[in-house]
Structures are given as C-alpha cells and as structure tokens.
Amino acid sequence: NTTTPTKSSIGNSWLGLEEALRKLQIAADIFPPFRPAVEGLTSCLHIFETAANHRQEYRDLADGLKSLVEQLIRHLDAAPSEDIIDVISPISEVIRKEIESVGIHQSHSGIRRIIGASGADEDLLRRYRRIEQLFRQIQGEVSMSTWNTTSKHFINTQLDSLHPAKLARFDSSLSTE
C-alpha cells in the first residue's frame, strides 16, 4: 500500500529544503568559497520544484538533501580550519558549475520546455542527484574534520595528564615503566 503525496506535502519538502539552505547560507559565512554554491542552489530550487511535478523521486531527493544540509549546519561551526576550507572549495566549485548549467539550460529552453522534454527532465534529475552527492561529500569531509579535531584534542588531553617518573633520569629501568 503506497500513499500518493499530497500537493502540500510536496510543497513542504521544498519549503523545508529552502529554509535549511537559508540557514546554511548564514553558517557558510565561515567558509566563503562555499557560499556561492549554497546561494546558487537556493536560487534555482524553483526549477527543480517545478520539474518535480508531484514525482515522489524528487520529493525524496528534496527531503534527503534537507537532511544533509541540516547535518552540515551542525558540523560547520566545529570545523573552521584552513584544511577543511581547502577541501570544500573545489567541491563547492563543482556544485556551482552544476547549478550554472541548470540555469543555462533553463534560460535557453524556458522552464516549460525543460520539463516537457523527457531527456531534459532526466538531465535535470541527474544534475540534482549529482548536487546531492556533492553535498554528501562535503558533509562527510566536515564530519571527518570535526572527528579529527576532537581526536587530536583527546590525545593532547591524555598526554597532558601523564606524569613523568622523576627517578627515571637516575635509573634507566624506571624509564620503561
């Protein structure tokens, strides 16, 4: 027994994603190279929403991307290192190019022709999936960076709590304890 999504539930998926992306824009201030990709995706959501045309597949993608964006927001504050900026920058550029490509197709054909042509519709779906995959990659990189920072902090705390054997400098057998 499958349920058909209602128009309001589909709209809620897109509104939820748009709201999450707006929050991510604020969090992305920490990572300036990431901001244009987030702004670009936010600005072309209407293209994907129109193409969705009540298709469950698009709704699932919107919900999945919203979940990724929310996870990313939680991790961004904890990972503002130069290393992660260097990793995110090229991925952000690929996202920006995918979004730019969607915009170019839309301006050449008009949104109705993009949706009407099955090949163009499949191309749009492929691009949306690619954007989701790239966001997943960024989320993974940020999560690993956070984990790495936490691990380093834990190791340093453990090392700081070690006490030297004061007699080790006089009796070499104590230095191995």
Question: pLDDT digit string (tens) for 32-47?
Answer: 888 888 888 888 888 8
Q: Residue 121 falls within a domain, yes or no?
A: yes
Q: Residue 2 falls within a domain, yes or no?
A: no
Structure tokens belonging to residue 42? 């936010």
What CA–CA distance (Å, rounded) separates 36 from 142? Answer: 18
Render 25-75 in DSSP notation, one character per residue: HHHGGGSGGGHHHHHHHHHTHHHHHHHHTT-HHHHHHHHHHHHHHHHHHHH
Instruction: Using the predicted structure, report yes or no on whether residue 163 has a pLDDT greater than 70.
Output: yes
- Report pLDDT digits (tens) over 100-116: 988 877 766 655 554 55
Q: Residue 67 falls within a domain, yes or no?
A: yes
- For residue 7, CA distances in Å to 52, 64, 131 come to 11, 18, 24
> Looking at residue 114, what is its pLDDT?
47
Q: Residue 1 falls within a domain, yes or no?
A: no
Are the C-beta atoms of residues 87 and 143 closer than 8 Å to each other? no
Q: Choose the most confident range, by mean pLDDT, from 45-59, 73-87, 105-119, 133-147.
A: 133-147
Does residue 85 or residue 137 have the better pLDDT? 137
List the single range of 56-70, 139-153, 159-173 with lowest mean pLDDT.
159-173
Q: Residue 29 falls within a domain, yes or no?
A: yes
Average pLDDT of span 7-21: 75
> Looking at residue 94, what is its pLDDT?
94
Instruction: Using the predicted structure, report yes or no on whether residue 152 has a pLDDT greater than 60.
Output: yes
Q: Residue 122 falls within a domain, yes or no?
A: yes
> Looking at residue 2, what is its pLDDT?
44
The residue segments making up the domain with residue 23 are 7-176
Counted domains in the chain: 1
Does residue 169 or residue 75 have the better pLDDT? 75
Using a cut of 0.85, tell me whether the model's pTM lies above it.
no
Q: Residue 38 falls within a domain, yes or no?
A: yes
> Looking at residue 168, what is its pLDDT?
55
Q: Residue 117 falls within a domain, yes or no?
A: yes
Band of pLDDT at residue 3, cut at 50, 70 and 90: very low
